[in-house]
Amino acid sequence: SRRGLIKRGKTVCTFCGTGCSFEVWVRGREVLKVEPRPESPVNGLGTCVKGKFGYSFVNSNERLTKPLIRQGHEFREASWEEALDLVARKLREIRDKYGPDSVGVIASCTSTNEEVYLTQKFARQVIGTNNVDNCARYCQSPATTGLLRTVGYGADSGSIHDMECADLLILIGTNTAEAHPVIASRIKRAKKHGNLRLVVVDVRMHEMAERADLFLTPRVGTDLVLINGVARYILERGWEDRKFVEERTENFQEYVKSLEPYNLQYVEEVTGIPKEKIITLAEMIHESRNVAVAWAMGVTQHQDGSETSTAISNLLLLTGNYGRPCCGAFPLRGHANVQGAGDVGGLPNFLPGYQSLNDPEVIKKFEEAWGIKLPRKPGLTSTEMVDKTLTGELKAMYIIGEDKVMADADQGRVREALSKLEFLVVQDLFLTETAKLAHVILPACSSLEKEGTFTNTERRIQRLYRVLDPLPGCKTDMEILQELAKLMGFNWDYSGPEEVMREISRLSPIHAGVTYQRLENFGSLQWPVTEDGQDSPYLYRDRFPFPDGRARFYPTTLIEPRSTGEKYDLYLVNGRLLEHFHWTNQTGRTPLKRKVPETFLEVSPQLAKERGWREGDVVLVESPVGRLRTRILITGRVSGNRVFLSIHGQGDSAVNLVTEDIRDPTSKTPAYKEVPVRVEKL
């Protein structure tokens, strides 16, 4: 045609951890259509609306196309040369003046594995600090903690298929139909056509809850008590898998002892779930040969997120539901590449492949490969970086693809912190709220404009091909990092992402056999991958990755959730909607914006009646740290003193205006889901 040739290329969706892949048809820069292919290992011929209609943001005229340098309260355009020189100079100055640990680096979960690997290498080799983290800190770090404690790998123990072929699937704190829509479709299909029974544990009625054989609504923040209560009941009845426990686990007696307080009476009192239903859940587990449990932010974004994740894994060990197909643990990853970002070392306490900072052999390997003395002290988490900025210990941050002002709890606090930095570099597609606070902004490429790999929630590594040329003026994260490393005295000379992947597979045993050739087109591999290319659809068949090969029961600690009181008398529950991704920086610049243009507060008919609220009323939602504005939506999806708001609001309806900075003490993940508020009609 006169308007140019139509081209198509394969990519992996950037909007959630399901990891759908498809071909994208383009003409020039125009995205014509998204076409899933039968050979896609995850989604076959399906996608959700985000994958299908969520890509026109790549041509938004609000894309950043020139580096920007702060001048007073304004920004001025600059050349790449000037901007990168300034970044290199300032980072070097601050590192030399205050030490390497005065710098923090945030890796992006929408960057490729290769780019995140280079991000953490930049932090560790070029700056000399372990202060590197990624957005798993906001979501699934507690799940990783729970699984590392008990079974040894912080990842899904099986594949999405194992949730389909289980006899019983328990979904806890996951609104799967909106947050991981293609996984939800697969579960719904399996339930309709197979033997799958479904239990949903959630504080809000949603599509999966409507389809459940058993739906339980515990009080906010009491999942741990429910799970331990079920475990204790199973033990009382002698329904545990004795053989599995004896042959494959440690610490059983300590675990049994830790369950003593969780009798049915106590569990009913704390959770508000009648004893009979607790018994029904235990019976359903007992009757099922294969049990899988999937969970998401409804579990992890609590003060006891790590503890509850541990309790889930303990329950699976107790009932022998690890180490074979059709069962296991499935913490559903939120971002496209949040699993991969941790796998390749974007974490303050692990080197690539979850290798320990305390293992002399590992240290030696990396020191030889990178030609430096590795920093040994574990770094700061993303949330701790905010604390240390406020105390003046952290002086500079380099933030890639993360809108931290919108993502952290207590927006006012994070704004104050980032404003105090001596130097802030932000690398992103748009002038985000975080970018507005930066000293230098670097315009980056979208996932359609680069090559590399993503790893989805089931540890599946897949290739992205360059579908569009970079928007003129933008560079990929890899190009930017490579140029900065060179300017700071390190001769990074990778010919492309494939060479980076070769380095990853040399240094990270779980990636040993990952090659671009094996991943060609719709090919994929689930880690750990042995050198000869054998991958792992499920883990722990023969051994758990502890020195003695045995899993560990890990007794949990009870942490009281935040309770409502006289002033803040309602519980704000929050989460995703199908149509949007985060604070709509991307989906808000697509036709999806029109589908859900603004946020609304879901309240029950009874609450609306009591308070005299009508649909569409504008209300203020207030917590001890701030207030936001939104509109009332009356719905049967919430009940009691719970109200629900999506996380997608911007401006004065952003949810993190009211989320307090209270954290899970182990993973440092904010307890976004424990927010007592008051609501007032305007």
Least distance to ligand SF4 from the beta carbon of 399, Å?
23
In the block, residue with structure tokens 């949330």: 383
Query: Does the protein bind ligand SF4 through residue 297 (CB under 6 A)?
Result: no
Which candidate, 555, 546, 528, places its Cα nearest to that of 151?
546
Query: Does the protein bind ligand SF4 through residue 51 (CB under 6 A)?
Result: yes
Q: Are 330 and 349 in contact (CB under 8 A)?
A: no
Query: Does the protein bind ligand SF4 through residue 575 (CB under 6 A)?
Result: no
- For 591, residues 6+ apart whose C-beta sits below 8 A from its C-beta are 53, 56
Which parts of 473-492 interact with ligand SF4 (CB under 6 A)?
Answer: none
Helix, strand, coil % (nearest 5) of the chain? 35, 20, 45
By C-beta, is 47 or 382 nearer to ligand SF4? 47
Query: Does the protein bind ligand SF4 through residue 515 (CB under 6 A)?
Result: no
Query: Does the protein bind ligand SF4 through residue 20 (CB under 6 A)?
Result: yes
Give the one residue of 10, 11, 18, 662 binding ligand SF4; rule: CB under 6 A. Answer: 18
Least distance to ligand SF4 from the beta carbon of 339, Å?
12
Least distance to ligand SF4 from the beta carbon of 29, Å?
21
Least distance to ligand SF4 from the beta carbon of 151, Å?
26
Give the one residue of 15, 252, 350, 430 binding ligand SF4; rule: CB under 6 A. Answer: 15
By C-beta, is 109 or 658 nearer to ligand SF4? 109
By C-beta, is 181 or 626 nearer to ligand SF4? 181
Least distance to ligand SF4 from the beta carbon of 22, Å?
8
Least distance to ligand SF4 from the beta carbon of 202, Å?
19
By C-beta, is 332 or 441 nearer to ligand SF4? 332
Query: Does the protein bind ligand SF4 through residue 339 (CB under 6 A)?
Result: no
By C-beta, is 181 or 345 nearer to ligand SF4? 181
By C-beta, is 174 or 635 nearer to ligand SF4? 174
By C-beta, is 47 or 411 nearer to ligand SF4? 47
CB neighbours of residue 177 within 10 Å:
21
CB neighbours of residue 85 within 10 Å:
15
Q: Is 660 helix (H, G, I), strand (E, B) or coil?
A: coil
Query: Does the protein bind ligand SF4 through residue 467 (CB under 6 A)?
Result: no
- How far is Cα 675 from Cα 623, in angstroms, rounded to an integer? 7
Which candidate, 571, 546, 555, places its Cα nearest to that of 621?
571
Q: Which of these ranges, 11-19, 129-137, 150-158, 621-629, lies near ligand SF4 under the rule CB under 6 A?
A: 11-19
Q: Which of these ranges, 45-53, 259-267, 414-422, 483-491, lies near ligand SF4 under the rule CB under 6 A?
A: 45-53
By C-beta, is 110 or 411 nearer to ligand SF4? 110
Give the one residue of 24, 26, 31, 48 binding ligand SF4; rule: CB under 6 A. Answer: 48
Q: Which of these ranges, 15-23, 387-395, 474-482, 537-545, lies near ligand SF4 under the rule CB under 6 A?
A: 15-23
Burial class (CB in 10 A: 0-12, 13-18, 19+), 555: middle
By C-beta, is 13 or 461 nearer to ligand SF4? 13
Q: Is 461 helix (H, G, I), strand (E, B) or coil?
A: strand
By C-beta, is 44 or 272 nearer to ligand SF4? 44
The token pair at 381 is 């988490």
- How far is Cα 184 from Cα 177, in angstroms, rounded to an integer? 5
Least distance to ligand SF4 from the beta carbon of 645, Å?
21
Q: What's the Cα-to-Cα distance from 506 to each of 304, 353, 371, rounded to whole Å?
A: 37, 11, 15
In this structure, the dihedral spanned by the alpha carbons of residues 527, 532, 538 and 539, taken in order and rounded to 10 degrees, is -80
HSE-up of residue 356 (Cα within 13 Å, Cβ side): 8
Least distance to ligand SF4 from the beta carbon of 45, Å?
12
Task: Name the residue with the smallest CB distance to ligand SF4.
Answer: 51
Q: In this structure, what DSSP letter does residue 44 have? A: T
Query: Does the protein bind ligand SF4 through residue 139 (CB under 6 A)?
Result: no
By C-beta, is 10 or 180 nearer to ligand SF4? 180
What is the DSSP annotation of 350-395?
EETTTEETT-HHHHHHHHHHHTSPPP-S----HHHHHHHHHTT---
Which parts of 169-198 interact with ligand SF4 (CB under 6 A)?
Answer: 180-182
- How far is Cα 375 from Cα 124, in angstroms, rounded to an integer? 7
Q: Which of these ranges, 44-52, 241-249, 584-592, 616-624, lies near ligand SF4 under the rule CB under 6 A?
A: 44-52
Q: Which of these ranges, 13-21, 23-31, 435-443, 599-607, lies near ligand SF4 under the rule CB under 6 A?
A: 13-21
| Beta pairing partners, 632 | 601
Q: In this structure, what DSSP letter does residue 70 have? A: E
The token pair at 421 is 């930095």
Query: In the stretch 24-43, what mask flags binding to ligand SF4 with x, by CB under 6 A?
Result: -------------------x
Between CA 437 and CA 442, with CA 438 as vertex, the angle to 5 degrees is 135
Query: Does the protein bind ligand SF4 through residue 13 (CB under 6 A)?
Result: yes
The token pair at 3 is 């308007």
Burial class (CB in 10 A: 0-12, 13-18, 19+), 542: exposed
Least distance to ligand SF4 from the beta carbon of 503, Å?
27
Query: Does the protein bind ligand SF4 through residue 201 (CB under 6 A)?
Result: no
- For 393, residues 6+ apart whose C-beta sits below 8 A from its C-beta are 101, 102
- How far is Cα 157 from Cα 172, in angstroms, rounded to an integer? 16
Query: Does the protein bind ligand SF4 through residue 288 (CB under 6 A)?
Result: no
Q: Are 35 and 10 in contact (CB under 8 A)?
A: no
Least distance to ligand SF4 from the beta carbon of 55, Å?
10
Query: Does the protein bind ligand SF4 through residue 16 (CB under 6 A)?
Result: yes
By C-beta, is 314 or 457 nearer to ligand SF4? 457
By C-beta, is 36 or 221 nearer to ligand SF4? 36
Give the one residue of 11, 40, 47, 536 binding ligand SF4; rule: CB under 6 A. Answer: 47
Query: Does the protein bind ligand SF4 through residue 264 (CB under 6 A)?
Result: no
The token pair at 116 is 């995140």
Classify the phi-psi angles of 444: left when phi > 0, otherwise alpha if psi is within -120 to 50, otherwise beta: beta
By C-beta, is 308 or 462 nearer to ligand SF4? 462
Least distance to ligand SF4 from the beta carbon of 53, Å?
10
Least distance to ligand SF4 from the beta carbon of 183, Å?
7
Largest Cα separation within the chain, whole Å, is 75
Query: Does the protein bind ligand SF4 through residue 311 (CB under 6 A)?
Result: no
Least distance to ligand SF4 from the beta carbon of 180, Å?
6
- How far is Cα 523 from Cα 461, in angstroms, rounded to an integer? 9
Query: Does the protein bind ligand SF4 through residue 50 (CB under 6 A)?
Result: yes
Angle between helices 411-420 and 382-390 (to 10 degrees): 60
| Site residue total, ligand SF4 (CB under 6 A) | 14
By C-beta, is 297 or 481 nearer to ligand SF4? 297
- How far is Cα 219 from Cα 171, in angstroms, rounded to an integer? 16
**Amino acid at position 484, single letter:** L
Query: What's the chain's length in residues?
Result: 682
In the block, residue with structure tokens 């009845």: 237
Query: Does the protein bind ligand SF4 through residue 522 (CB under 6 A)?
Result: no
Which candidate, 481, 473, 482, 582, places its Cα nearest to that of 64?
473
Q: Name the residues that contact ligand SF4, by CB under 6 A.
A: 13, 15-16, 18-20, 43, 47-48, 50-51, 180-182
